[in-house]
Amino acid sequence: MKTTCQACFRQCSLDPGQTGFCRARKNTDGVIRCENYGQITSLALDPIEKKPLRRFYPGSLILSVGSFGCNLRCPFCQNHEISMTDQAHAGAVFLSPEALADKALEYAEIGNIGVAFTYNEPLVGWEYVRDTARLVRRAGMKNVLVTNGSASPGVLKEILPFIDAMNIDLKCFREETYRTLGGSLSAVQEFILQAAGTCHVELTTLIVPGINDSMEEMEEEAAWIASIRSGRSAEESGPEIPLHVTRFFPQYRMRDRAATETAQVYRLAEAAGKYLKYVFVGNC
């Protein structure tokens, strides 16, 4: 019989043996199983600023880990080799939550502060994020999540107690544009609101020519971010939430257009700065 996956807003209804849109979750004998649990495609010790996080332990390192699968279909995806593939083609190696937490602790002496779940969309395999993050927290280290913010409220509730910081991709600020990416702006907004009330949050918008590069859209986005009230502290409320405005380079299925003009990225960042205290430019 069909079973509905509850991991994200998409709510895939899957026949036995069928894999969901994300390529990482499967109906196995009537139960939705996480096919990418512990299946690691990428592991690197990165500067925290690369996540990007600029106001969370600046100058530190973090052990970054990725698997395969994603619940969006962005034609400009920078990690499409792993995010748009499945288990058969991922070339993954199994790493248990215990082994990953131990590895993070091993690197503490050279400046590692914890684990960042990143590269593909981590929350299509949220069970691994939860289980590993619990162990990392127990070891006294930090957990960072780099996500598209499309997970369901139930998943967010499961992982939030163990997450110290997030960078959330806010792809654009138009519902119709989000639909072309396979996503939902309203779902991401709700995710951001919930996360900002619990952990440190920074946002990233990749500026893609002809997709989300208008001044009007950026001002609307920044005004909305500024309106957020986290309930944690004034320092974590809307105007204090950092926004990373980054430059697009031809990738994946969008190799037919030039990189975003540097001047336009700076103009949009300046526009966002009318509403937000911390606006950072990337890839320029």
Task: Say if CB 51 and CB 38 are below 8 A apart.
Answer: no
Which pLDDT band holds residue 231 (cuts at 50, 70, 90)?
low
pLDDT at 249 over 90: yes
Cβ neighbors of 102 (< 8 A, separation 6 or more) are none
Residue 19's pLDDT is 96
Domain that holds residue 202: 3-282
Pairing of strands 165-169, 200-207: parallel
DSSP secondary structure letters along 226-244 = HT---SS-GGGSGGGS-EE
CA atoms within 13 Å, Cβ hemisphere of 105: 14
pLDDT at 12 over 70: yes
Note the pLDDT tens digit of each residue in 137-192: 999 999 999 999 999 999 999 999 999 999 999 999 999 999 999 999 999 999 99
Task: Say if CB 226 and CB 262 are below 8 A apart.
Answer: no
Specify the number of domains making up the chain. Answer: 1
Give the domain CATH number at 167. 3.20.20.70
pTM attached to this predicted model: 0.95
Which pLDDT band holds residue 86 (cuts at 50, 70, 90)?
confident
Task: Say if CB 86 and CB 69 are below 8 A apart.
Answer: yes
Residue 206 CA from chain centroid, whole number? 13
